[in-house]
Amino acid sequence: MRFKLTSDIKVLKEKANQMRRNILIMCNKAQSGHPGGSLSAIDIIVGLYYSVMMHNPSNPKWVDRDRFVLSKGHCCPALYAVLADCGYFPLKWLYKFRKIDSKLQGHPSMVDTPGIEMSTGSLGQGLSAAAGMALGYKIDNNSGIIYCMIGDGECNEGQIWEAAMSAAHYKLDNLIVILDKNRLQIDGFTKDVMDSSSLAAKFKAFNWNISEIDGHNCKEIISILNKVIKNPNGKPSMIIANTVKGKGISFMENKPEWHGKAPNDEELEVALKELQ
C-alpha cells in the first residue's frame, strides 16, 4: 500500500521531534555516527517521506515510486529513523546501527537496507546517481520524481559540478535537490575551509531553478517541494535550505565538533530532555 501522506504541520513537527530522539539514541548506542548533519537534515527528510513523496514501504521497489538519494550519506541516522518509522524495516534494527552484522551500515548500503536507493558515503557521488535515476525515469516516461540531498561541504567535490552540468544538459526537471546549508563541514565553517559562498548563484549559472527556504520550517519545506513538483520547466531544481547543524540540541547547535561524535549517556539524557 502506498504510504499515507499528511500535510498536518503539527503531525510533521511531532514526527521530526521523535526522529531527533531516535537519531541521538542510535548514535549513543553505536557510540559513533554523525548527529550534527542528521539533525540539520531531519525536518526536510520528514517533509519528504510523510508529506511529499509517493512511496510504498511494503514494496520498496515499486517502479513508479518517487525516490530519495541521501548524497551526504554520513547523515543516514536521519534516513534510517524515518525509514523504520514508515515501516521499511523493524524499529529494533535502529539499535544495531553501525554494529557488526547489522543491516544498517555506517553509511547507506542499498544492498543491505530496504528503502535505501543508492549506496553513498563517498561524497559527491549520490547526486550523479540521482541524476542517472532521473534520466532512467525520463527514458521510461515514468512520472516519478527523484529527490536528492547534498551537503554544503559536499559541494567542494568536483563531481557535484559535473553532475550539475549534466543534469541541466539533459533537462532533468524530474530531479529536485535539497542543499542542507548548515554552513559547517568537518574542519570548521565552510567559509573558512573552502569558501562556498553564493552557491545559489553558482547553481543558477549552471542553469538550475533556485529557491531558498528555512530548512527547519515544516510549512516552508512542504510548500516549496509541492510548488517545485508542479512547475516542471525543463530544468533541475535546487532548494537551498538554510539550516543549523545540530538543530534542536542546544549544546550541539553550530558546533563543528558534533559533526561525527556520539553523545555519551549523560549528554543523551540532557538532549532527550530538551526534545520533550
Partner 1 sequence: MKATRDAYGETLAGLKNPNIVVVDADLSVSTRTSKFAKKHPKRFFDFGIAEANMISQAAGLATTGKIVFASTFACFASARALDQVRVSVCYSKLNVKICATHAGLTIGEDGASHQALSDIGIMRSMPYMKVFVPADPNETEQIIRWIAKDDGPTYVRLGRNKIADLHDKFGKSYKTKFCYARAQKIIDGKHATIIACGYMVEKALEAAMKLVEDKIHVTVLNMSTLKPLDEKAILRCPKPIVTVEEGMLNSGLGNAVAAVLCEKAGKKDTRMIRLGVDNQFGQSGKPEELLKHYHLQTENIVRAVKRLV
The binding site for ligand TPP (CB under 6 A) comprises: 36-37, 40, 72, 74-75, 121-124, 151-154, 180, 182, 184-186, 245, 259
Sign of the torsion formed by the C-alpha atoms of 132, 51, 241 and 190:
negative
Residue closer to ligand TPP (CB basis): 70 or 168 = 70
Residue closer to Mg ion (CB basis): 211 or 254 = 254
Q: Which does 165 bind (CB under 5 to 8 A by kind): partner 1, Mg ion, ligand TPP, none?
A: partner 1
Among 113, 120, 174, 182, binds Mg ion (CB under 5 A): 182
Strand order in the sheet with 237-242: 67-70, 146-151, 175-181, 237-242, 209-214
Question: What pairs with residue 189 in β-bridges?
Answer: 184
The verdict on 234 binding partner 1 (CB under 8 A) reads no
Q: Which does 154 bind (CB under 5 to 8 A by kind): ligand TPP, partner 1, Mg ion, none?
A: ligand TPP
Give the integer Cα–Cα distance in Å for 216 and 265.
26
Identify which range of 87-95, 117-125, 227-235, 239-247 contacts partner 1 by CB under 8 A.
117-125
Give the integer Cα–Cα distance in Å for 214 and 155.
19
The nearest distance, CB 111 to ligand TPP, in angstroms, is 19
Q: Which does 133 bind (CB under 5 to 8 A by kind): Mg ion, partner 1, ligand TPP, none?
A: partner 1
Angle, CA of 112, 80 and 16, to the nearest 5°: 170
Give the integer Cα–Cα distance in Å for 53 and 67.
7
Count of Cβ atoms closer than 10 Å to residue 201 Cβ: 10
Task: Give Cα 10 distance to the centre of its chain.
Answer: 21
Identify which range of 8-16, 21-29, 78-86, 134-142 contacts partner 1 by CB under 8 A.
134-142
The verdict on 157 binding Mg ion (CB under 5 A) reads no
Phi first, then psi, for residue 165 (nearest 5°) are -60, -45
Identify which range of 94-102, 146-154, 212-220, 255-263 contacts Mg ion by CB under 5 A.
146-154
Residue closer to ligand TPP (CB basis): 74 or 261 = 74
Given a contact cutoff of 8 angstroms between Cβ atoms, the answer to whether 20 and 275 are in contact is yes
Phi first, then psi, for residue 218 (nearest 5°) are -55, -40
Of residues 51-90, those binding partner 1 (CB under 8 A):
63
The nearest distance, CB 5 to Mg ion, in angstroms, is 28
Strand, helix or coil for residue 253: coil
**Which chain residues interact with partner 1 by CB under 8 A?**
63, 109-111, 117-122, 124-126, 128-137, 139-140, 142, 158-159, 162-163, 165-166, 169-170
